[in-house]
Structure 1
Amino acid sequence: MSDIDRDLLPEGLGDRLPQSAAAATRIMRAILDVMDAHGYDRVRPPLIEFEKSLAARMAGIQPRRMFRFIDPVSLRTLALRSDITPQVGRIAETGLAAAPRPLRLAYAGPVATIKADALDPQRERLQVGAELIGSDGVAAAAEVVAMAIEAAKAAGATGVSVDFTLPDLVDTLATSILPLDPQKIDAVRRELDSKDAGGLKAAGGEAYLPLLYATGPFESAIEKLAGIDVGGVLESRIRGLKEIASRVAGAARLTLDPTERHGFEYQSWFGFTIYAEGVRGLLGRGGTYRISGDAAGEQGGGEAATGFSLYPDPLIDVAANGAAREAVFLPLGHDPAAAAKLRGEGWRTIAALSDADDAATLGCTHVLQGSAATPL
């Protein structure tokens, strides 16, 4: 192995250098501060758990996307987390099982996957989010969507838009006004998700074609969806979507894509995706779900919950390329009390270690003169 190869990092992984790491810390703290202000307490689950615990707690979690290896102590398979949400569910069901509900929890930390997404080459990214355990009703969903928008803006996102979806839509319609052979449901879901009208017809879902057009700006799309709901099967869901939209009106651009399912496999009746200007792909995702279920991670049991996750790495990259942070240069022989006072006021100080140290070279914007920070 050459010296160059020795220092290479695996594809999709990278270092965050000082300015980038500082931006990551500021943005993570800004998001967590929003959630803390809304009464969400932070938890810190471990980076590695038993694969069975991570994969079986919620439907849609894919073990094949996780880095897995054998624990030399227990001889059981461990996995590096690809999503923190199941871990928060485990904490709610175990260590906080007796805590009053609704239980509000927040988290932040790195997650990793074996293979990157098509639009995102990174295999490691920061996940920051919140889970409201014990409720998946309209009030809970509205609280979570509003907080997600606020947190995204606190992280520096602009031009925020939120796309609503109904993850269980096909299942609901297939057993009511649009009967569907159970063997065709997965194919119909897939074609609706890909917005393929021809494929939808071929899959036996021609009756579902109108759903492809109930998309777009929320106000018009929700009326199209209501027009399809001849039997009133979706009445409560439509009413719930309108209530959520009313709660966040004016805070973000709202759209509706009722058949979107990719990434919402473990969501129940409601899901949403957050986008922002200048961010390729999604910025975050959330919705309602149930913790646990049976041993295979199927829905139908467990505790109701509502939550969201933000993936702020694109915002961190933008912030890292911005203006350098202000810092005060402390010359040799400076007054320690004056320097301590500046730090107490929020200044960042960099002390000279020798006569050769130069304020500008060290990235300082000010210099301590007497007891004051003077611009260079």
Structure 2
Amino acid sequence: MIHDSIINPEKIVTLPIGFRDILSPHADAEAKMIDVIMSIAISHGYMRVKPTLVEFENTLFNGPGLAISEQVFRLIDPISQHMIGLRADMTTQAARIASTIMIDAPRPVRLCYAGEVLLTTTNQLNPERELVQIGAELIGNSTADADAEVILLAIESLHTVGVKSISLDIMIPALVPLVLADMRLPAEIFSAVRQAINQKDIATVERLANSKSSVLVGLLKAFGPCEEAMRALSELELPDKARDFLVRPAEVIKLITNFEPNLSITVDPAENRGFEYHTGIAFSLFARGGRNEIGRGGRYQSDKDPKSTATGFTIYLERVLQILPKHQQTPTVYIPYGTPREQSMALRTRGQITIAGLTPVVDNYAEAKRMGCKSILLNGQTIDLSQY
């Protein structure tokens, strides 16, 4: 077992930026959290899949995968001589599985997964380039009930692993593009307005869009608690196509509050950064009082087939572990050389962790402490080492 006294900082190998070795007990906590969340998803009928770590570019970048192409490590396959990529997101892989080898499975298809993804770049909010992605996808159903199901599943998963207070932020990524398209702004102004919206810069939006800015400013100001935000959106003079996108969020919010009446829900209708490939509502999950999202998801089109509409979520395991109480390592019991195996087996059956001595030593107590154990098994009795 790993304890601080045996870690030598002078021997730590320099790894590429964004990569690190993960030791116990953090690695233990990761594995346990994955098991818990996957078990919850499976209990809801989601089938666990394990997509390949690498794919040819033409499949990896298909559909929503194109939106993350710049995050993918690329290399040449020495056998086929074709370009392949190391996955940066397992969402697109689950969608590919559903639309190919599981094409004949009855819809909706429910899939869940957990595994490492690799990113080419990093930023201040996401310093890691090797992440564990945990998620679930519901593919082949376009209803509000499907949207609500994946959100509630994500919330249930977070509650179960110990996140107490969760808030939900709902976005409508298609709303701003539809409003901008209706305005028919010149190309040079269009890009500047889009950037100002992303930065929530109301003054710049008003200056650039002039008389056409009122709706855009209204979208930016509509951010807030779900009831107030939806009321403000309903009062805006939106194009018909954009107004149609207000129906689904209202339906989903109602379904969610029926099951989670105390959940804090906000609506941010102008936010779409990171949700570019989403075609319906999108969402972020936060721990109450936290600044960084601990999960996100939403509706997207997995391929060109209209029946391939999908919705899903991703939980950021590292961020969840950061806000939970530090994982306590189970104390270990030292088993001196020559101890009957059935005695140590009895301890392991009760959930204890044993470390067996492999050679005779003069002082078993000293050896147990050297190995970082908290107790020792002698003559069938477990003895606490704190008194020695």
TM more than 0.5? yes
For the residue of structure 2 that corresponds to 1:75, the secondary structure is coil
Equivalent in the alignment of 1:17: 23
Equivalent-residue separation in structure 1 for 2:53 and 2:197 (angstroms)? 35
For residues 256-286 of structure 1, the C-alpha deviation after alignment (integer angstroms, 9 at most, x for no partner) is 1111101111111110001125765221110
For the residue of structure 2 that corresponds to 1:58, the secondary structure is helix
1:211 to 215, 219, 223: 219
Equivalent in the alignment of 1:201: 206
Matched, 1:37 2:43: yes
Higher mean C-alpha deviation, range 80-89 or range 32-41: 32-41
What pairs up with 1:253-332 in 2 under 5 angstroms?
253-276=264-287, 281-293=292-304, 301=306, 303-317=308-322, 321-332=326-337
For the residue of structure 2 that corresponds to 1:343, the secondary structure is helix
Question: What root-mean-square deviation, in Å, do the aligned CA atoms of Structure 1 and Structure 2 show?
Answer: 2.7
Q: For residues 238 and 38 of structure 1, do their structure 2 counterparts lie closer, same or farther at Cα, with a shift above 3 Å needed?
A: closer
1:225 to 214, 218, 233: 233
Equivalent-residue separation in structure 2 for 1:255 and 1:267 (angstroms)? 19
1:224 maps to amino acid: A
Q: Which has the higher contact order (CA 8 A, sep 6+)?
A: 1
Q: What is the deviation of 1:203?
A: 4.2
Q: What is the deviation of 1:191?
A: 2.8
Q: What is the deviation of 1:60?
A: 5.3
Q: For residues 54 and 225 of structure 1, do their structure 2 counterparts lie closer, same or farther at Cα, with a shift above 3 Å needed?
A: same
Q: What is the deviation of 1:348?
A: 1.9
1:367 maps to amino acid: I
Q: What is the deviation of 1:84?
A: 0.6
Q: Is the 8 A contact 1:68 1:79 kept in 2?
A: yes
Equivalent-residue separation in structure 2 for 1:235 and 1:261 (angstroms)? 15
1:287 maps to amino acid: G
2:64 maps to amino acid: M
Q: Is the 8 A contact 1:163 1:254 kept in 2?
A: yes
1:352 maps to amino acid: G
Matched, 1:359 2:368: yes
Q: Is the 8 A contact 1:149 1:251 kept in 2?
A: no
**Where in structure 2 are there 5+ consecutive unaligned residues?**
1-9
What pairs up with 1:35-114 in 2 under 5 angstroms?
35-58=41-64, 61-114=67-120
Q: Is the 8 A contact 2:63 2:303 kept in 1?
A: yes
**Where in structure 1 are there 5+ consecutive unaligned residues?**
294-299
1:305 maps to amino acid: A
Q: What is the deviation of 1:254?
A: 1.5
Q: For residues 158 and 202 of structure 1, do their structure 2 counterparts lie closer, same or farther at Cα, with a shift above 3 Å needed?
A: same
Higher mean C-alpha deviation, range 327-336 or range 46-55: 327-336
For the residue of structure 1 that corresponds to 2:235, the secondary structure is helix
Higher mean C-alpha deviation, range 128-137 or range 342-351: 342-351
Identity %: 33
